[in-house]
Amino acid sequence: MGFTAAVAGASGYAGGELLRLLLAHPNIEVGTLTAGGNAGSRLGEHQPHLLPLADRVLAETTVDNLAGHDVVFLALPHGQSGALAQQLGESVTIVDCGADFRLADPGEWERFYGSPHAGTWPYGLPEMPGGREALSGARRVAVPGCHVTAATLALFPALDAELVLPEAVAVGVTGTSGAGKSPKPHLLGSEVMGAVAPYGVGGGHRHNPEIVQNLSRVAGEPVTLNFTPVLAPMPRGILTTTSAPLRERVTTDRVRDAYQRRFGDEPFVRLLPEGTWPTTAMTLGANTTLVQVTVDEDAGRLVAIAALDNLTKGTAGGALQSANIALGLGETVGLPVAGVAP
């Protein structure tokens, strides 16, 4: 069973990670690669680590160039996916790594993105309740934001099991690749190394309403969230520390049971053995999310921490996992479970 895939935005970080994973996928062949300003250049100039594709020339990101593939992965700035999808038609499976079709509430979309709401597509987080069903056979997939995947997987089992009040706090420490490849002074190596730097503090990050949306769906009631993303000196990885007030005194064992019920059969999410806390280094290049949870008795809070690679499970790996489901392939096909360490 063979499919072909086009990748739009192939010269960026998400596009590069999609290609790395597709090169190892037994059922999907890499088709046309497109770019914006980098169209016309060799992929090797932008992704020198992808040797087998080094001499591929990047085409313009146009409907014509993307048409004729079974799957199209979009790794574009937000605002472009809707028109491309409409023109590509219903028969093509489109997996959007951008934000356009993630938020259900038009008001929230407009508040955080400042442009008209495009709609919503099936949501690419199979591990959420009902997640797989929504993706099975879907022709459209909205891949979650990287911080969103980490925060959601860290906290939703506690809300689902009604262990905590719907008042969450999260701090997501992330590597720099999530900020993309467009050069800005504060992202220079000289600035980044040695710097731990918060951004989007106080509710302003665009992943904020998306986490709230996910957690509220699972909780069945509105969840408030105070989310602070923090940039750390490493290229990849997110470690998100979440907490919420316990509804009543519970043991760590009971909390672990709730998480184990959720994640015990998941191929890409693992509750670590008690006493072991996840680190970003455990997940580099793998499509995994590692989770640990405990009870802070003095503070009366549940603390759950998740680690993942923002480019793999947080973007391109998550996209491919959802594509596997959408295309009727095995969910885990072609996706690495072992990371690269040290």
Residues 168-187 that bind a second copy (CB under 8 A): 169, 171, 173, 175-177, 179, 181, 183-185, 187
Q: Is 181 exposed, middle or buried (0-12, 13-18, 19+ CB in 10 A)?
A: middle
Q: Does 313 bind a second copy (CB under 8 A)?
A: no
Residue 90: CB minimum distance to a second copy, A: 33
CB 282 within 8 A of CB 269: no
* E strand residue ranges, 67-180: 71-74, 93-96, 140-142, 167-174
Residue found by looking up tokens 């990849």 in the block: 236
Nearest 10 degrees: Cα torsion 112, 115, 117, 120: -60
Residue 67: CB minimum distance to a second copy, A: 26
Residue number, 69 or 301, with CB nearest to a second copy: 301
Residues 111-150 that bind a second copy (CB under 8 A): none
Integer CA distances (angstroms), 207 to 176, 200, 330, 339, in order: 16, 10, 29, 25
Q: Which stretch binds a second copy (CB under 8 A): 67-75, 90-98, 118-126, 265-273?
A: 265-273
Residue number, 63 or 234, with CB nearest to a second copy: 234
Single residue of 87, 133, 197, 328 touching a second copy by CB under 8 A: 197
What's at 169, amino acid-wise? Answer: V
Residues 30-49 that bind a second copy (CB under 8 A): 44-45, 47-49
Count of residues touching a second copy (by CB under 8 A)? 95
Residue 157: CB minimum distance to a second copy, A: 17
Sheet holding 3-8, edge to edge: 59-60, 28-35, 3-8, 71-74, 93-96, 140-142
Residues 7-26 that bind a second copy (CB under 8 A): 13, 16, 19-20, 23-24
Single residue of 15, 82, 314, 339 touching a second copy by CB under 8 A: 339
The two structure tokens encoding residue 124? 């690419």
From the candidates 71, 92, 94, 146, give the one annotated as an active-site residue.
146
Distance in angstroms between the alpha carbons of the first and the last residue of the chain: 36
Residues 274-303 that bind a second copy (CB under 8 A): 276-286, 288, 290, 292, 294-301, 303
Residue number, 143 or 239, with CB nearest to a second copy: 239
The two structure tokens encoding residue 174? 């992330």
Best CA proximity match to 236, nearest among 195, 177, 287: 177
Single residue of 27, 41, 52, 106 touching a second copy by CB under 8 A: 52
How far apart CA 152 and CA 170 sit, in angstroms, is: 10
Residues in the chain: 342
Residues 202-221 that bind a second copy (CB under 8 A): 202-203, 208, 212
Query: Is 97 a known active-site residue?
Result: no
Residue number, 91 or 273, with CB nearest to a second copy: 273
The two structure tokens encoding residue 3? 């499919």
Residues 232-261 that bind a second copy (CB under 8 A): 232-237, 239, 241, 243, 252
- Report, as residue numbers or ranges, the catalytic residues: 146
